[in-house]
Each structure stands twice: as C-alpha cells, then as structure tokens.
Amino acid sequence: GENVEQHPSTLSVQEGDSAVIKCTYSDSASNYFPWYKQELGKRPQLIIDIRSNVGEKKDQRIAVTLNKTAKHFSLHITETQPEDSAVYFCAAGAGSYQLTFGKGTKLSVIP
C-alpha cells in the first residue's frame, strides 16, 4: 500500500519568513495530494490540493509543488503569520480518496 513520509516533524519560523514542508510517497498510482491544516482539537481542514496532471498550484500565500518522477510534493507558506501555527498533514491517494496521511508537521510561527 501507499506510504507517505513527511518532514520535518516540527518547524519554527519567525513571522514573515517562509515555511516549507516536504512529503514523499511510494505508490505511483497516487494521483491526488491534499494538504490539511489541523488546529488543536479541531478537524483537519483542506488548505490546498494538487492532482498529478499539475506541477504547481498557488493560492495566495500557499503553494504546493509536485514532482511525480521523484514522488515528492511540498507545501510552501510565504509571509507566515501567527495564525498559521498548527499541525499540517500531507496526504496521498488515488481516485477513491482512500487517503494515506503523513505524520504531520507542527508549525510554530514566532511573532
């Protein structure tokens, strides 16, 4: 089955700096790669997703890149703000949306 590795497990950045979180996946059949933000005690919320027919997608301060050949994808957050502090999960799946999640990255943005 699919295996998703996520790094780093924790990340601290100064407010205004950029944050990058990286994930690798193992199953070449995976074609859907969402990123979720989870605040303490709350549900995962989709922040951006990308499909395998696209190499990059951007939504304001958030961007995701996908390298299918290397089987890795990354989340980039620019101009970080304290409210970006949360746990971020990457996931990979095929059309059925049986998503395999990474272990999460706890992002702390220091004011």
Partner 1 sequence: EPEVTQTPSHQVTQMGQEVILRCVPISNHLYFYWYRQILGQKVEFLVSFYNNEISEKSEIFDDQFSVERPDGSNFTLKIRSTKLEDSAMYFCASRDLGSPLHFGNGTRLTVT
Which tokens in the block code for residue 108?
């702390």
Does position 34 interact with partner 1 (CB under 8 A)? The reply is yes
Quick one: which segment of 11-19, 20-28, 56-64, 99-107 binds partner 1 (CB under 8 A)? 99-107
User: Cα(3)–Cα(30) distance, rounded to whole angstroms?
Assistant: 10
Residue 50, phi then psi, degrees to nearest 5? -145, 145
Does position 29 interact with partner 1 (CB under 8 A)? The reply is no
Interface residue with partner 1, options 84, 102, 107, 109 (CB under 8 A): 102
Does position 73 interact with partner 1 (CB under 8 A)? The reply is no
Pairing of strands 86-92, 105-110: antiparallel
Nearer to partner 1, 15 or 39 (CB): 39
The helices-and-strands tally (H runs, E runs) of the chain is 0, 11
> Which residues sit opposite 83 in a β-bridge?
none
Which parts of 37-66 interact with partner 1 (CB under 8 A)?
42-46, 49
Q: Where on the chain is the footprint of partner 1 (CB under 8 A)? A: 34, 36, 42-46, 49, 89, 91, 96-104
